[in-house]
Chains A and B, each alone.
Chain A
Amino acid sequence: MNVGDTVGNYRVLAKLGQGGMGTVFRARDEVLHRDVAVKVLSSHTIAEKSAKDLLLHEARAASALSHPNICMIHQVGETGGDLFIVMEMVEGRPLSELIGKDGLPVESILRYGVQIAGALTHSHNRNVIHRDLKSANVMITPEGLVKVLDFGLARRIHKEVLPETARTLDSLGASDETTMESTGGLTGTIPYMAPELLKGQLTDQRADIWALGVVLYEAASGKLPFLGQTILETSGAILHELPAPLPAWVPQGLWAVVQRCLSKDPQQRYQRASEVLAALEAVQTASVVGGGATTSIPTGPATTVLRGVRAVAVKDGDVLLLVGTMKGAFLLRSHAKRANWNVMGPVFHGQAVYSLAYDGREGRRRLWASTASYWGTLLRSSDDFGRTWANLQQASIKFPPDCGASLKNIWQVCLGREDEPDTMYCGVEPAALFVSQDAGESWSLVRGLFDHPHRPRWVPGNGGLCLHTVVLDPSERQRMYVAISAGGVYRTDDGGATWQARNRGICVRHEPNRFPEFGQCVHKVVLHPSRPERLFLQHHWGIYRSDDHGDSWQSISNGVPSDFGFAMLAHPRDPDCVYVLPIESDEFRCTPDGRLRVYRTRNAGSSWEPLSKGLPQKGAYETVLRDAMHTDGLEPAGIYFGTRSGDLFGSTDEGKTWKLILGGLPPVVCVKSVVIGEPGNDGKIQAAAKKRQSSKAPKKGSAGKKRGKR
């Protein structure tokens, strides 16, 4: 084909360019009176008839695509042995030319990225994979509209021109120079190739998602993420290296999207272009709201993209079980019926996850996890149900320099009340309380408690000197409780400025004075939100109740096989109902008689009943730790607990019958259950209590009055 020729309805006007695939001409459609681009694929490029037929087939499939960001294919045909493709004439410049040496402004990257992802979404939905997405194939019109070129055309061409397109890296490595030469015009494409393509494995639409990641990276930095002097070096980088962090001014959200696109394992990438589109749109919204402000601290990988973990899809109304273990966290999802559970995990491989929480306040869908490893303890959050986790450069919870203390562990993440949606608390080891007033962004030590004169005399329990429980009074904003092992219960009535030990009546056996002011080894405290003056407490030895905000405690251990235990749970609606999990003794920290039994009182502790149907009753020497039992708050309440030997049990009928949900986990430290779309574990229960309070004012009075009704 030459300038001046006429092929069918098209008169060739000018040669626009030449590339690896062939020559591009501007031509005039004499019937429709419009200019078109005609790409001619020379016969030597595609020698075999079968390859030619396939290309024609794929070009025809691509011609069915109709999307504002995809360059339309009008016709495919053959002339004089050459294949030609007639396309929409796009006026503009390729993205590769617009990207300067330092990249594009964030706003432009996002604007173009959203359009490219939109184009891929459309084509993937129609089973057309691009296979050669690169910045040179993305045209930008003077109006800023993206047009992606050459959809679906690359597959056969690559196989023909680059015969074993690196079926294996070894074959590429046989001779760098030769391979470089033999690939001719396609060398520019290698940096966009996904690892699976280089390994000669079967590829799918996720190779396009990789290429999109490369394009976004290039647009943000002006550099390709993987580039060497030779194909071997470039391929090696694609297969084995991590991309260098993007410049500091690139929003962390965009960097997270790019990293996810560039996951070596296709399973770990976004699985669909629509997901990338949604993520980029979210970043776009965030950067508009944030006014483009950037931090002065150099940013690195703000986000950890989980490897080797399949995400579970979560929607509002689903029940989520968050399970923290000594070797990572697991997330389980079920519909409201709670019959079947999808499992995701382990998240944070090998790290101890002592605390998990869900913040659903103010429309958030945020998970929190504390992770402890050789490399320290971190508080991390995820806004996409655990697929990606914030990975801060600097730990957000630190003791101030004058404290002479270093954070060892975070034992409890506690959300503030529903009407203080940006407040959060963390109970930590060594025993201290931290508070955040900006939804977990920054934290400060609660000095009133840290400077308490009792603190030097608190002694570590078996698990260390930890503040493991934070309980908020839902009706009195200034009042809250903490429990310290071993320091006891402390209450503040002035929002944390001052704290008073509240342990009167709690008996200790490790001191001559059986009733000291403080020093009790409290294992758990729970409060019922509809009767905020009432608390229940599991002590190292003893189960107690207080009906006066913790001013005094009375033993309610009568009727349990052992008063030792860790876990304790308040029923979400019934203020007289509490669950415990008795452990034989201090020395033998296992369920008594090898029988795993939950005990429940429905009369505020006057009597207890064992709940064991469905639980192992022979040879079950289990321990259930203090935070390893929780309720979803639904009606009837789902109750869940995990054992140190790694079994997770659940009941959907308030404890009458139990089922093993998941076995063989690492030792379970923490179990939280939440309903997605509701304010959150603490907030939700408080909300339920408010409803209850508004319909029926809480009755003050002794538990004895209630007892009679049971």
Chain B
Amino acid sequence: MPAKNEASANVPVTIYIPGPLRPFSGGRPRVELKNSPETLRDALDELWKEYPGIRDRVITEEGRLREHINIFVGNENVRYTGDFATRLAPGAEISILPAVSGG
């Protein structure tokens, strides 16, 4: 059993980067995180440590998710799962997407 847990913990968390932000991720459409973040907050901190240009485009200076941006963990919008405190399972897939709103 320990061996199995260790193996699953090693499955990296992946963040999918939307097109408009790829200039800030070196063109990468997805980023695999080296560490094993436990929460969305940890994952995002790791993302913008590596790609600082993404931060200000996703959250405000008060640290809130921008109004028209959604983050999903798997298929769940994190606004319903605890926002940045949303817990991540090994291998979790995080998507950053603009909302369908505005004119």
Q: Of the listed stretches A128-136, A403-411, A418-426, A679-687, name the one at the interface; the rest are far from the partner chain.
A: A403-411
Chain A nearest Cβ from B47, distance in angstroms? 13
Point out the residues of chain A lying under 8 angstroms from B58, CB to CB: 375
Question: Is the CB–CB distance between A301 and B56 below 8 Å?
Answer: no
Looking at the complex, which one of B52, B61, B66 makes contact with A374 (CB distance below 8 Å)?
B66
Question: Is the CB–CB distance between A242 and B27 below 8 Å?
Answer: yes
Say if the beta carbon of B82 comes within 8 Å of chain A.
Answer: no
Q: How far is B58's CA from A375's CA once the two chains are assembled, in angstroms?
A: 6
Chain B nearest Cβ from A444, distance in angstroms? 14
Q: How far is B66's CA from A374's CA once the two chains are assembled, in angstroms?
A: 7
Say if the beta carbon of B69 comes within 8 Å of chain A.
Answer: yes
Q: Which residues of B18-53 are within 8 A (CB) of A?
A: 20-24, 26-27, 51-53
Question: Is the CB–CB distance between A374 and B102 below 8 Å?
Answer: yes
Question: Is the CB–CB distance between A406 and B55 below 8 Å?
Answer: no
Say if the beta carbon of B68 comes within 8 Å of chain A.
Answer: yes
Point out the residues of chain B lying under 8 angstroms from A395, CB to CB: 56, 61
Say if the beta carbon of B64 comes within 8 Å of chain A.
Answer: yes
Question: Is the CB–CB distance between A406 and B24 below 8 Å?
Answer: no
Q: How far is B57's CA from A6's CA once the two chains are assembled, in angstroms?
A: 69
Say if the beta carbon of B60 comes within 8 Å of chain A.
Answer: yes
Say if the beta carbon of A450 comes within 8 Å of chain B.
Answer: no
Q: How far is B56's CA from A391's CA once the two chains are assembled, in angstroms?
A: 12
Question: Is the CB–CB distance between B22 and A406 below 8 Å?
Answer: no
Q: How far is B67's CA from A407's CA once the two chains are assembled, in angstroms?
A: 12
Say if the beta carbon of A401 comes within 8 Å of chain B.
Answer: yes
Say if the beta carbon of A298 comes within 8 Å of chain B.
Answer: yes
Question: Is the CB–CB distance between A300 and B27 below 8 Å?
Answer: no
Q: How far is B100's CA from A335's CA once the two chains are assembled, in angstroms?
A: 43
Q: Which residues of B67-88 are within 8 A (CB) of A?
A: 68-69
Say if the beta carbon of B7 comes within 8 Å of chain A.
Answer: no
Q: How far is B23's CA from A243's CA once the two chains are assembled, in angstroms?
A: 9
Point out the residues of chain A lying under 8 angstroms from B53, CB to CB: 300-301, 392-394
With contacts A297-B52, A300-B51, A405-B62 known, is A376 near B24, CB below 8 A?
A: no
Question: Is the CB–CB distance between A375 and B24 below 8 Å?
Answer: no
Question: Is the CB–CB distance between B26 and A394 below 8 Å?
Answer: no
Point out the residues of chain A lying under 8 angstroms from B57, CB to CB: 375-376
Q: Which residues of A376-428 are within 8 A (CB) of B?
A: 376, 391-395, 398-399, 401, 404-407
With contacts A374-B98, A374-B102 known, is A404 near B62, CB below 8 A?
A: yes
Question: Is the CB–CB distance between A406 and B21 below 8 Å?
Answer: no
A-B pair count, CB < 8 Å, reads 64
Q: How far is B60's CA from A406's CA once the two chains are assembled, in angstroms?
A: 6
Looking at the complex, which one of B23, B55, B64, B68 makes contact with A301 (CB distance below 8 Å)?
B23
With contacts A297-B52, A374-B66 known, is A393 near B24, CB below 8 A?
A: yes
Question: Is the CB–CB distance between B66 and A394 below 8 Å?
Answer: no
Q: How far is B57's CA from A406's CA once the two chains are assembled, in angstroms?
A: 12
Question: Is the CB–CB distance between B98 and A399 below 8 Å?
Answer: no
Say if the beta carbon of A498 comes within 8 Å of chain B.
Answer: no
Q: How many residues of B contact A (CB 8 A)?
A: 24
Question: Is the CB–CB distance between B24 and A242 below 8 Å?
Answer: no
Question: Is the CB–CB distance between A374 and B23 below 8 Å?
Answer: no
Say if the beta carbon of B3 comes within 8 Å of chain A.
Answer: no
Chain B nearest Cβ from A234, distance in angstroms? 15
Q: How far is B64's CA from A404's CA once the two chains are assembled, in angstroms?
A: 11
Question: Is the CB–CB distance between A406 and B23 below 8 Å?
Answer: no
Q: Mark A222-260 against chain B: 1 for CB-CB distance below 8 A, else 0.
A: 000000000000000000011111000000000000000
Question: Is the CB–CB distance between A394 and B51 below 8 Å?
Answer: no
Question: Is the CB–CB distance between A376 and B66 below 8 Å?
Answer: yes
Question: Is the CB–CB distance between B99 and A374 below 8 Å?
Answer: yes
Q: How far is B23's CA from A376's CA once the two chains are assembled, in angstroms?
A: 16
Question: Is the CB–CB distance between A243 and B99 below 8 Å?
Answer: no
Q: How far is B57's CA from A242's CA once the two chains are assembled, in angstroms?
A: 19
Q: How far is B62's CA from A395's CA once the two chains are assembled, in angstroms?
A: 13
Q: How far is B22's CA from A469's CA once the two chains are assembled, in angstroms?
A: 35
Q: How far is B23's CA from A241's CA once the two chains are assembled, in angstroms?
A: 11
Question: Is the CB–CB distance between B52 and A393 below 8 Å?
Answer: yes
Point out the residues of chain B lying under 8 angstroms from A298, CB to CB: 52
Point out the residues of chain A lying under 8 angstroms from B55, CB to CB: 394
Closest B residue to A327 using CB positions: B103
With contacts A242-B23, A300-B24 known, is A375 near B61, CB below 8 A?
A: no
Chain B nearest Cβ from A408, distance in angstroms? 9
Point out the residues of chain A lying under 8 angstroms from B56, CB to CB: 376, 393-395, 398
Say if the beta carbon of A304 comes within 8 Å of chain B.
Answer: yes
Question: Is the CB–CB distance between A242 and B69 below 8 Å?
Answer: no
Looking at the complex, which one of A245, A375, A393, A398 makes contact with B69 (CB distance below 8 Å)?
A375
Point out the residues of chain A lying under 8 angstroms from B62, CB to CB: 399, 401, 404-406
Point out the residues of chain A lying under 8 angstroms from B21, CB to CB: 375
Q: How far is B13's CA from A260's CA once the two chains are assembled, in angstroms?
A: 34
Looking at the complex, which one of A244, A391, A407 makes contact with B61 (CB distance below 8 Å)?
A407
Looking at the complex, which one of B20, B22, B61 makes contact with A242 (CB distance below 8 Å)?
B22
Closest A residue to B69 using CB positions: A374
Q: How far is B60's CA from A405's CA once the two chains are assembled, in angstroms?
A: 9
Q: How far is B55's CA from A376's CA once the two chains are assembled, in angstroms?
A: 11
Q: How far is B21's CA from A404's CA once the two chains are assembled, in angstroms?
A: 26
Question: Is the CB–CB distance between B61 and A300 below 8 Å?
Answer: no
Point out the residues of chain B lying under 8 angstroms from A243, CB to CB: 27
Q: Mark A186-200 against chain B: 1 for CB-CB distance below 8 A, else 0.
A: 000000000000000
Extra A-B contacts (9), CB below 8 Å, given A374-B98, A399-B61: A242-B23, A243-B27, A374-B69, A374-B102, A375-B21, A375-B57, A376-B56, A394-B56, A395-B56
B residues contacting A by CB (< 8 A) are: 20-24, 26-27, 51-53, 55-58, 60-62, 64, 66, 68-69, 98-99, 102
29 intermolecular pairs with C-beta atoms under 8 Å apart: A242-B27, A244-B26, A297-B52, A298-B52, A300-B24, A300-B51, A301-B24, A374-B66, A374-B102, A375-B21, A375-B58, A375-B66, A376-B57, A376-B66, A391-B23, A392-B53, A393-B52, A393-B53, A395-B56, A398-B61, A399-B61, A399-B62, A401-B61, A405-B62, A406-B60, A406-B61, A406-B62, A407-B60, A407-B61
Lowest 3 CB-CB distances: which A-B pairs, in order? A242-B27, A406-B60, A375-B57
